[in-house]
Amino acid sequence: MITELKRFAAVTLFLFVGFSVNASSGIFSANNEKKISTESGKYRIYDPYAKSQKLTLKGQMHCHTTNSDGKLAPLELCKRYQSIGFDFMTITDHEYITPEPAGNELIWIGNSYENTNGNTPTTSAANYAHICVYDTDSMLLAPNYTKYRSYKTINEVQQFHEVERNEMINLCHPNWSGFYLPDSTMLNCNGHFSFVECWNDGAANDSMKLRTCCRGWDLLLSRGLRVYSLGVDDYHSGNSIGEGWVEVFSNSKSKKTIMNSLSKGNYVAANGKLGINPIVLKSIQLKKNTLHVNIGSPATIRFIGRNGKILKQEDSVTASNYSITGNELYVRVEVWSGVYAKWLQPYFIEKIR
């Protein structure tokens, strides 16, 4: 704790002085399901945080090296993340599967890549998107797939990786500068995404507003898809390392437990500086039909439901709660302290009768 406080104080000084899912029948389990009754009927709620875990592990799930358009070699990038307190990572080079570099000491969660279809034309945004694929041994339609040979639609990537190969995929920066993925594209996907980014530090240059990608997430959730969200660096170069990440709740430091927690939504997304975010989540609990959130110091706590509607917001508080009615479809929570945020994964709500 003392080390973390020292690191946060150092970053604060640094800033001050100016240096530069589709609904799956298996998602409800005995361990994560809670049944409630309200005035509008009986419901079951999927609680991603129902099982307590003893560890919080910080990880990066979208970054680039010299194997594509990044400026750091794979091992150097791993060491940079290790130096600022990260526990696990993968590398998502463009159209290139970068294996774990020899000498890496972080937990490696599998070989990954980013399917970008080369320089995706903005005029074709209705058909093409950037998608990160995790823990894979095959690029899309390999060995016949090359970077500029042909474009692949979202549905083709989903069919190949998530449907046929049961691999997790992430819809990257749906609001990336110059490439705004139309709402209709996300809503008309045949399959679903494991994740969509709620924060991409490389999106839209320096616009804090556009780095937040929650509009796309809420569009997918409001369609009835059970999709989790990631905070990522999308690191390529410069000093922006450690400005977006996930904090996974796990019982052990292993790839298996990390991937299991990610698949169940037992984690939060975060942004910050050099891997530091001042928001401390003390407890996240669902008691009867009421969701309780407690944090370490005053901040804004916001409960969000269908179509991105703010259901309740309280400012400068250390605790807040929201009573679920059953009509929300989902409830997710954002905690904001200035420009820093943490995003909780959704509580999915399904009517029984």
Query: How do residues 124-141 score in pLDDT, each as one tens digit?
Result: 555 567 899 999 998 875
Structure token pair of residue 351:
């009517």
322 by Cβ neighbours in 10 Å (0-12 / 13-18 / 19+) ranks as buried
Structure token pair of residue 75:
């091992």
Q: Which residue has the tokens 């999709």?
A: 227
Q: What is the pLDDT of residue 16?
A: 33
Q: Tell me the backbone φ, ψ of residue 97, rounded to 5 degrees.
A: -90, 110
pLDDT confidence bin for 1, thresholds 50/70/90:
very low
pLDDT confidence bin for 67, thresholds 50/70/90:
very high
pLDDT confidence bin for 346, thresholds 50/70/90:
very high
Query: Which of 38-42, 125-129, 315-319, 329-333 has the least mean pLDDT?
Result: 125-129
CATH 3.40.50.300 corresponds to the domain 2-41+51-279: no
d(CA 303, CA 313): 6
Q: Which residue has the tokens 């997430």?
A: 217
The rounded Cα 346 to chain-centroid distance in angstroms is: 12
| Of the candidates 17, 21, 45, 43, the residue with the CA atom closest to the CA atom of residue 33 | 45
Q: What is the pLDDT of residue 211?
A: 64
Structure token pair of residue 37:
């009754």
For residue 246, is pLDDT > 60?
A: yes
Q: What is the pLDDT of residue 13?
A: 37
